[in-house]
């Protein structure tokens, strides 16, 4: 019988978050496939685990994947870990999991830390429906295009961001979503300098620019969806619409007012018609 591929989550900073079942699996598998074997060796040494480590990336050459699949075929179990957190979440593993499933091998999760879920759990934003966007494109034009595609997203959005790009990303988010949109910056979670700042995008941008420490370490950014941002009072919507209706027809005024107030275009269109009566 073929072995099992265990997809094992590891801590995102605090080693105390290593789950007991992960330790048990890592102690007993034949091989551990890791992104960066040197980094993973340090983690394993800390827990006294002396396992065989091989490196694995989704772009690993075929011989490496074949070797792992061969190990499973011979009946030995394999554990997949990433540098930190849950494999496959902005980390390698998808191809290996898919290939194992295509061959009918068992794939089993050992759940544990994940920065996206940890950030969402303390964001103070609706968590009943959310979308994980991972890292934004590094080129500004592509980043803006992606954000524009999320303009009508009503679910809470979770992003990962590199510390040296957080200021630019907040600026692009302000340009697209508006500075009033609620968000939470979750930095260095589970570590000594853990920081969770719930604020508007505008205020987050100011705080991050004023304090260089906020541009360091590992960052997850949780941003409210449009429904939750549409908390502008009716009075303000009416005021904006009244001005716009002097210059343009109701459908255009509603579209522009939606952008200005974060309100829903359909709601604003109905309001525009009422105001015109
Ligand atoms: N697979 C990992 C997981 O489950 O969260 C994510 C791997 S991804 C390559 C690394 C990114 O996750 C970092 O650049 C950062 O955006 C986010 N991240 C990882 N650890 C974090 C932490 N302790 N606090 C905040 N964000 C973190």
**CATH number of the domain encompassing residue 56:** 3.40.1010.10
Residues 187, 133: one domain? yes
Ligand 1 pocket member 133 (CB < 6 A): no
Count of structural domains within the chain: 3
Domain span at residue 149? 116-223
Tens digits of per-residue pLDDT, 66-81? 999 999 999 999 999 9
Tens digits of per-residue pLDDT, 239-260? 999 999 999 998 899 999 998 8
Pocket test for ligand 1, best of 43, 113, 115 (most atoms within 8 A of CB): 115
**CATH number of the domain encompassing residue 153:** 3.30.950.10
Tell how far the Cα of 217 is from the centroid of ligand 1, in angstroms. Answer: 10
Tell how far the Cα of 92 is from the centroid of ligand 1, in angstroms. Answer: 13
Distance CA 31, CA 129 (A): 37
* Sequence-ordered strand ranges (E) for 113-229: 130-135, 156-161, 182-187, 195-200, 219-223
Residue 231 contacts residue 197 (beta carbons within 8 Å): no
Which structure tokens are listed for 131? 């979308």
Distance CA 159, CA 131 (A): 9
Position in ligand 1 atom list of the atom nearest CA 88? 1
User: Would the pTM of this model clear 0.85, i.e. be above it?
Assistant: no
Distance CA 144, CA 146 (A): 5
Residues 144, 107: one domain? no
In percent, the amount of the chain with pLDDT more than 70 equals: 97
Tell how far the Cα of 133 is from the centroid of ligand 1, in angstroms. Answer: 13
- Mean pLDDT of the residues in the chain: 93
């Amino acid at each position: 019988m073929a072995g099992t591929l265990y997809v094992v989550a590891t801590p995102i900073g605090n080693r105390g978050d290593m789950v007991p079942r992960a330790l048990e699996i890592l102690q007993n598998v034949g091989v551990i496939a890791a992104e960066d074997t040197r980094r993973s060796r340090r983690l394993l040494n800390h827990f006294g685990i002396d396992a065989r480590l091989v490196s694995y990336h989704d772009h690993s050459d075929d011989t490496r994947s074949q070797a792992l699949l061969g190990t499973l075929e011979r009946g030995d179990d394999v554990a997949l870990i990433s540098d930190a957190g849950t494999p496959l979440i902005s980390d390698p593993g998808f191809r290996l999991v898919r290939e194992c499933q295509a061959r009918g091998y068992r794939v089993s999760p050992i759940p544990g830390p994940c920065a996206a879920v940890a950030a969402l759990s303390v964001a103070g934003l609706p968590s009943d429906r959310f979308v994980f966007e991972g890292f934004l494109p590094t080129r500004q034009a592509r980043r803006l295009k992606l954000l524009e595609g999320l303009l009508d997203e009503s679910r809470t959005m979770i992003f990962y961001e590199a510390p040296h790009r957080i200021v630019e990303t907040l600026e692009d988010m302000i340009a697209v979503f508006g500075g009033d949109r609620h968000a939470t910056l979750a930095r260095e979670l589970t570590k000594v300098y853990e920081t969770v700042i719930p604020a508007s995008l505008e205020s987050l941008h100011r705080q991050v620019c004023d304090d260089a420490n906020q541009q360091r370490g590992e960052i997850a950014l949780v941003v409210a969806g449009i429904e939750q941002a549409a908390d502008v009072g009716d009075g303000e919507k009416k005021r904006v619409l009244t001005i716009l209706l002097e210059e343009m027809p109701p459908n255009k005024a509603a579209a522009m007012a939606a952008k200005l107030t974060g309100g829903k275009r359909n709601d604003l269109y109905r309001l525009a018609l009422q105001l015109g009566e």
